[in-house]
Amino acid sequence: MAEDHEVVVFGVWGSAYSRRVETALKLKGVPYKYIEEDLSKKSPSLLKYNPIHKKIPVLVHNGKPIVESLVILEYIDETWQEGYSLLMPKDPYQRALARFWAKFIDDKCFPAIVKACWGEEQEREKAGEEAVELLKLLEKELQEKRFFGGENIGMVDIAANVIGFSLGAHEEASGVKLMTREKFPKLCNWRDDFMSKSAAIKKDGPSEEEFISIVRNYYRKK
């Protein structure tokens, strides 16, 4: 059985990717130590545990590092199976679908959102249209479910925290509106439920105003 007290998370306070890992650990009831990283001056420990990408988040369990947030989520789900229901479906086909949608969010949806909000001025309108079309696919995938995982938060919900946790801040900071309740009633209801539940799980994250400021300052420097 995993030694819970030997779990360490290297992350960044305002990162949706770090928040994914912490949300999963909190849902599973796994105690962990959190280490805040300064990405402008990366610690020797971060470089030791993630020498290839040199990025957060990193989960260290019994001295062994696991990197990449989606990989970490599956590791958490397979290692701590007691307590909270599995983040990934038991059925192999449904598991494959969950992996597909999680990758879709990371590889297609969120990059399109960033481009629509922060891309070159002349490209933003087209990028915004693309982002909206991708969000429509997520709206359709939700169907009548409360969460992508059904009645409980699952793998895809945690992956989609870049929308639930980050999209509103990007919209507010950039002045670009992509996800309205009129166009995306299901996604907006999902966001409200997900943020309400995840906020209760992790209470020490940045406030909405602080996160908007983080996003604005980060992308204006690029």
Q: How far is CA 83 from CA 136, 154, 197, 210, in A?
A: 34, 14, 17, 33
- Which residue, 49, 79, 109, sits at the end of a domain? 79
> Which value, to the nearest 10 degrees, does the dihedral of the CA atoms of residues 112, 73, 150, 170 take?
-30
Give the pLDDT mean for 86-102: 94
- Give me the pLDDT at residue 199, please: 65
Locate tokens 């980060």: which residue? 218
Same domain, 138 and 213: yes
Domain membership flag for residue 193: yes
Same domain, 110 and 47: no
Same domain, 200 and 100: yes
Distance between CA atoms of residues 118 and 124, nearest Å: 8
CATH number at residue 213: 1.20.1050.10
Q: Closest Cα to residue 190, out of 146, 138, 129?
A: 146
Q: What is the DSSP string of 42-83?
A: --HHHHHH-TTT--S-EEEETTEEEESHHHHHHHHHHH--SS
- Which residue, 28, 47, 79, sits at the end of a domain? 79
Q: What is the pLDDT of residues 10-65, one digit of tens each?
A: 999 889 999 999 999 999 999 999 999 998 899 999 999 999 999 999 999 999 99
Q: Closest Cα to residue 99, out of 78, 73, 133?
A: 73
> Which value, to the nearest 10 degrees, does the dihedral of the CA atoms of residues 99, 105, 111, 112 take?
130
Same domain, 124 and 193: yes
Same domain, 97 and 168: yes
Same domain, 69 and 113: no
Same domain, 112 and 198: yes
Global pTM reads: 0.90
- Give me the pLDDT at residue 4, please: 43
Distance between CA atoms of residues 66 and 73, nearest Å: 10
User: Phi, psi at residue 99, to the nearest 5°?
Assistant: -60, -40
- Give me the pLDDT at residue 205, please: 63
Give the pLDDT mean for 65-85: 92
Distance between CA atoms of residues 68 and 16, nearest Å: 12
Same domain, 96 and 121: yes
Domain range holding 12? 2-79
Same domain, 45 and 122: no
If you average pLDDT over every residue of the chain, what do you get?
Answer: 90
Q: pLDDT tier at 137 (50, 70, 90 boundaries)? A: very high
Domain membership flag for residue 86: no
Beta partners for residue 193, in sequence order:
none
pLDDT of 202 over the 60 cut: no
Domain membership flag for residue 18: yes
Same domain, 99 and 134: yes
Domain membership flag for residue 84: no
Same domain, 130 and 189: yes
